Amino acid sequence: MADQQLGFFVNLQRCLGCHTCEVACKDWHGLAPGPRWRRVRTVEGGTYPRPFAYFVSIACNHCAEPICVSVCPAKAYTKRPDGLVVHDPSRCMGCQYCTFACPYGAPQYDEAAGRAGKCSGCYGRVDAGEEPVCVGSCIGRALEFGPLSELEKRHPGCVSTIGVMPPAEMTRPSLRLLRRPESQSAPSRIVDGHRTRPVEGGKRR
C-alpha cells in the first residue's frame, strides 16, 4: 500500500440518497448514458413495524490489492504512488475482464466506446490541490477524500465494509464508512437506480 494511500469516506448517517454525487461525476467526466462511475444504492429491509432503508454511495475503492490491475491483459490499469488506481482508455481493448472481476462493480463498460472506464479519484483535480467532484457536490456533506490515516483519525469507529458489500479482505478497499445501526441488520433488497435486486436467502453479502 502507498505510504499516503488516498481514499474515500462515506457517512451513511448523512447520505440523503439525492444522487447529486452520481450526476456530478457523470457530468464532469462527460459519461455517456449507461456507465455510472459513482452509484447511489438504496438498501431496504426489516418488517413492519420496524422497516428500514439507508443509502450507500460507492465508486472505485482504489484498493490496496486491486483485482482490475491484475486481470487486465492490456495493462490499462496502474496504481499511482498515492494509491489511486487509474485506467488508461488508450490501452483498453474492451475485453471486460475488469468488469467481471471487480467485486464492487467499479469498472463500467461503455458499449458505444467499446471500452471500460471507472472512477479515477479525479486525480487531475487532486494533483491541482482540489477534491474529487463527487465530494464537492455532496449537499449532505456525506463524502470526504484524503489519506486513509487522516480519515480514520477524523472518524473513530469507521469501518471498511458493511454487510451488503464484499469482505474487505478480498481487495483491501481504500474506503471507510460510518455506519448506521441498520447497516448491521440483514437487508431484504438493494435498489440500484431503477433496478431492484433481492438479497439471496435474506442474507447479507
Domains of the chain, by residue range, sit at 6-64+121-202
Fold adopted by 6-64+121-202: Alpha-Beta Plaits (3.30.70)
Cα 51 to the center of its chain, rounded Å: 25
Residue 197 has pLDDT above 80, yes or no: no
pLDDT at position 3, please? 54
**CA neighbor of 10 nearest in space, from 136, 145, 133, 130:** 145
Confidence of residue 48 (pLDDT cuts 50, 70, 90): confident
Of 12, 19, 22, the C-alpha closest to 43 is 12
Among residues 36, 77, 78, which one has the least CA distance to residue 58? 36
- Measured CA to CA in angstroms, residue 190 lies from 130, 151, 178 at distances of 32, 27, 19
Res 204: pLDDT: 35
Task: Read off the pLDDT band of 47 (50, 70, 90).
Answer: confident
Q: Which residues contact 22 (CB under 8 A, 6 or more apart)?
A: 36, 38, 39, 40, 57, 134
Query: Can you tell me which residue has the cell 487522516?
Result: 150
Closest CA to 87 of 112, 57, 110: 110
